Amino acid sequence: MDDFPELDALMRAEKKHDWMSEPRFKRMFDEIEDGLQGVLGKGRYEWVDRRVFDQVFDRSTLLAVHKLMQKGKIETIDYPIARGKEAHVFHATTNHGPVAVKIFHTTNAVFKGLAKYIDGDPRFSGLSRRHRELVNIWVRKELRNLKRMRKHGLRVPEPLDSLKNVLVMEYIGDERGASPRLKDITIDKPYELFEDLLEFIAINWQTCELVHADFSEYNILWLDGEPWVIDVGQSVTRQHPSSDEFLIRDVTRLVDWINRQGHSVDLAESLARVLDDPVPSLPSFSGGD
């Protein structure tokens, strides 16, 4: 793919959209789009169609993905492995193996309801609430939450890089495909898994000083007999005014799940364990947040 010397300047000036219609920049975008379409779909599935491409890869996203390719963080984007209201997640390749690329939709009205997970988080106070900027904040928030959780040994994907609305992270899966969600499989020893996940919530609360805020069987992947927790963009610090409410909701969902497996676990007792029981100190995956 060609390099474009104007790229960095365009990224810095993204909020001013007039330049997009200038002929030289239109040609540049056409070249970037053509180049990306040259690598998209070269995985196991020919998934690319114009509707999906236009939904996910607007001009700002094209710039961000191209920049990450220039940095060597992405080589090819192969096929989607998850599709949601807020984002598409793609299997991608690099020189070091597969990665997951999460691309958040920049025109989705769903993000208007996500400010409640940012307002009140001291790490992101005083920032713009424009829609596109809200999405970019959300990506930075997910990256920082992942780093903090991994710093304290929790099993979440390693964040590798981010730019604008694009997050590159560790791929959770194997050569057969992405790991399944807990919702889609049957667990042989569900109570042991419940204990493991309750410990996750407790360590996240007591040690990381975070609450996931959307902890459910939809956001837990299963790989080689171990759970991996994903989708932590909405996670907030304990200082957030709604953190207690979010914690109770997370524990309630976990208790509901285990009780559907034929157990009779008490919610109040489980919540007390999260709040009061000593938690182990786990080996760090990687440092910093």
| CATH class, range 177-276 | mainly alpha
Taking each helix axis from N to C end, the angle separating 267-276 and 243-260, rounded to the nearest 10 degrees, works out to 130
Q: What is the pLDDT of residue 117?
A: 76
CATH superfamily of 7-174: Phosphorylase Kinase; domain 1 (3.30.200.20)
**Would the CA dihedral through 128, 130, 134, 137 be positive or negative?**
negative
Give residue 23's Cα distance to chain centre.
35
Q: Where in the chain is the domain with CATH 3.30.200.20?
A: 7-174
Q: What is the pLDDT of residue 127?
A: 53
Q: Per-residue pLDDT tens for 191-209?
A: 999 999 999 999 999 999 9
Q: What is the pLDDT of residue 2?
A: 45
Q: Which tokens sit at 173?
A: 């899966």
Residues annotated as part of the active site? 214, 231
- Max mean pLDDT among 54-58, 89-93, 103-107 falls in 89-93
Q: Where in the chain is the domain with CATH 1.10.510.10?
A: 177-276
Mean pLDDT of 203-223: 97
Distances, alpha carbon 105 to alpha carbons 85, 156, 173, in Å: 8, 22, 24
Q: Per-residue pLDDT tens for 1-14?
A: 445 445 555 455 44
Q: Per-residue pLDDT tens for 230-286?
A: 999 999 999 999 999 999 999 999 999 999 999 999 999 999 999 999 999 999 886
Confidence of residue 169 (pLDDT cuts 50, 70, 90): very high
pTM of the model: 0.83
Is residue 21 scored above 70 in pLDDT? no
